[in-house]
Structure 1
Amino acid sequence: MCEGNNISKHVCIIGDAHGQLPKIQTLLRDAQLIDSTDRWVGKSASVWFLGDFCDRGPDGIGVIDLVMRLQHEASAVGGAVHALLGNHDVLILAVHRFSSRRGNEPGGVFIKDWQRNGGIQSDLDRLSTEHIHWLSHLPAMALVQERLLIHADSDFYMQFGQSIDTVNANMQFILHNSDASQWNYLLDLFAGRKVFDRRHADGAALATRLLRTFGGRQIIHGHTPINYMNGMAPEQITEAFVYQGGRCVNADGGMYLGGPGFVYRLGSLDPKLSLLRRQ
């Protein structure tokens, strides 16, 4: 499902893909961003994928290949396709880097963690040098039209710096070294979720703090399937979940759980969502 009209003229958000290539293709086609042969026809549109391309679904590498190709095709005609780093992207990179280590060695547990979290062997087998380079250079966060885009509904990003550029650089530093403890630390942080939810005692304050630190008037994230927050069946999730008075938007449609997914178009922000200045 596509939210809003004339989507090719706007910025579009797609949540966690998790290997659901046919669903991603359908979403992009229905949004008139690709044609029946999966070629970019979105003209000057911009698309942001919120990470977690692999695991829990049959063809994570197929999703990555599609996104990588669309980046080139869109750029050639004035459009743009971007992607953020998700925890499952970090995990498959960790498995690849530390696969030769035994369970009692640093990094030796990544393979079991990956398998337990829906790791797909065919994705690992097909992971190429090009895929590794692409994944390991993905940003962790971005500011787009006064929206702060992140993968996880968590405030842990502040542990890696006080600016978007610094956070992205520090996370990429981890992905380019062989210190297993740093990889494990990053993955442990990614395990948190629902930090901004109203049921979290400090949810509103933490969302405000994140926006004050990195800028923007609204947080858009994936990571936690919407049905885990609103209690609906995954098959019924056809639009983003807006919460905390509009400060937060969850764009994870839970496609691997059976949800059809959706493309979330950035519209006008509520004037009541004032820009939060750094203190």
Structure 2
Amino acid sequence: MSSLFKRIFSHNKKEKNKFDGPYVFHKNNSIEIYTIEAGKCTKNEYKNEPLQVRFSNHADWNFSVPLKKQLSNEPCLWNDSEKIFVLSDIEGEFAAFRRLLIANNVIDSNYQWIFGKGHLVVNGDLFDRGDEVTPLLWLIYKLEDEAKLHGGYVHTIIGNHDVMNLSGDLRFVDIKYFNHARLMNMDYMQLFDKDSELGRWLRTKNVMEKIGNRLFVHGGVSPLINNMQLNIEILNAKCRPFYDISENEGNETNVPEYLQSLYNRQSLYWYRGYFYEPRATMQDVDNTLTLYGCKQIIVGHTIVPDKNPALYYTGKILGIDVNQHQGIHAAILIENDNCFAMNDKGEKKLLVYQPANEITPTETAG
């Protein structure tokens, strides 16, 4: 394994953040804000001031977030950008996310956007496993508005773990969040429901976006999705109602069979066919590229074999899930039509297709 991207740290020695939140809820004509500090819950009314995200273990990491005046569903078709920074499957690892963005000049140490007109793509799976999901969500939320001021953009693609948290499949949620929900006299599912600011915000995100001639999707595009022959805008519109429906719930309801592939294991955020059997054929991949007018599909979800970003299917598929939760931190930079692997030191490595990459992974993914 390349040492370039290996950053394993001890979770046992990591001092835990005693703060959590803020959790923002829209109640009738008011906005309520809950924060947790050292096992105690505080509730206040919103006073039209920036929200405070704090870290007891890293005071210099604190930041403030203005609440958005309105939320609307994201566009999904974009012109190309001079540079695109992409990472996926952060899964609550705020420190890794922060380090990657700072090291690669997307933000500075004060969380200010310094990526100019570049685009940042978070290609799914913000939730689960890690214990700093809330600040991760707020930082992305904050950067969206700052990027726009500079002509850039932040894209958040919905992944399977994001849908799991919105729909009630909580197998991988850190116990901290159940405890904190109880302190607020709530169930965990209320933390990100449709009355919460972060829940409303997440439900505006897409499962697939196209930037220039590249397609960004968390899992991949299965042959079943190909066969539906839906354009990207319609596909996103049809998928959005299923964010709140777990796979089991969907199977127990009267969802038409042809729509079940929008949320089951053939869906855009669950599909693993680029890496696991039965693997997609080259024709399957070409069918997707033709359908959406693209030359490349960028996916997370399935941990790539050597835990470094790599090209597959003669370069038509780019896999970027390197297992961030286990301390291996990497992203990609797309610049001048080249793809580079980037680590958390800002080091850069040109990605070149290698036929030897076409090996079925032995490790499951998020």
TM range (shorter): 0.7 to 0.9
1:10 aligns with 2:83: yes
SS in 2 for 1:171: helix
| Long gaps (5+) in structure 2 | 6-80, 182-187, 254-259, 340-366
Distance (Å, rounded) in 1 between the aligned partners of 2:221 and 2:177: 27
AA in 1 matched with 2:284: L
Q: Tell me, in whole angstroms, the C-alpha distance in 1 between the residues paired with 2:276 and 2:130.
A: 30
Q: Deviations over 1:182-225 (max 9, x none)?
A: 69951443585441249755431221122122220111111111
State the partner residue of 1:88.
161
- 1:48 CA displacement: 0.8
Q: Once the two structures are superposed, what CA deviation does each residue of 1:213-240 show, in whole Å capped at 9, x if it has no partner?
A: 22201111111111xxx2x3x4xx3xx2
Highest Rg: 1 or 2? Answer: 2
Tell me, yes or no, if the aligned pair for 1:161 and 1:167 is still in contact at 8 Å: no
Matched, 1:225 2:298: no
1:204 is the counterpart of 2:277: no
SS in 1 for 2:120: strand
Matches within 5 A, 1:165-204: 165-175=233-243, 180-181=249-250, 185=260, 186-190=263-267, 192-197=270-275, 200=278, 202-204=280-282
* Equivalent pair of 1:197/1:204 in contact (CA under 8 Å): no
Corresponding residue SS for 2:330: coil
| Identity among equivalent pairs (%) | 22
Residue 63 of structure 1, CA deviation: 1.2
Work out which structure has the larger RCO, using CA pairs closer than 8 Å and 6 or more positions apart in sequence: 1
Say which structure is richer in helix. Answer: 1
Question: Partners in 2 of 1:14 and 1:141 — Cα distance?
Answer: 15
Asked if structure 1 preserves the Cα contact closer than 8 Å seen for 2:221 and 2:288, the reply is no
Q: Matches of 2:177 and 2:82 in 1, distance apart?
A: 33
DSSP-derived class of the 1:189 partner: coil
**Matched-pair contact (CA < 8 Å) for 2:310–2:318:** yes
Residue ranges of structure 1 left out of the alignment (5+ in a row)? 3-7, 96-109, 271-279
Any idea what the Cα deviations from partners look like across 1:13-33, whole Å, max 9, x if unmatched?
A: 112111111011011001111
Once the two structures are superposed, what CA deviation does each residue of 1:145-177 show, in whole Å capped at 9, x if it has no partner? 201111003415447651000110001122367
What is the number of equivalent residue pairs in this alignment? 237
Q: Pick from 204, 207, 230: which aligns with 1:162?
A: 230
CA contact 2:85–2:331 (8 Å) conserved in 1? no
Higher strand share: 2
1:5 counterpart residue number: none
Q: In terms of mean alpha carbon deviation, does 152-161 or 213-222 score higher?
A: 152-161
Structure 2 equivalent of residue 119 of structure 1: 173
Residues 161, 88 of structure 1: alpha-carbon distance in 2 compared, 3 angstrom cutoff: farther
> Deviation at 1:39?
1.9
Counterpart amino acid of residue 67 in structure 1 = I
> What letter corresponds to residue 88 of structure 2 in structure 1?
G
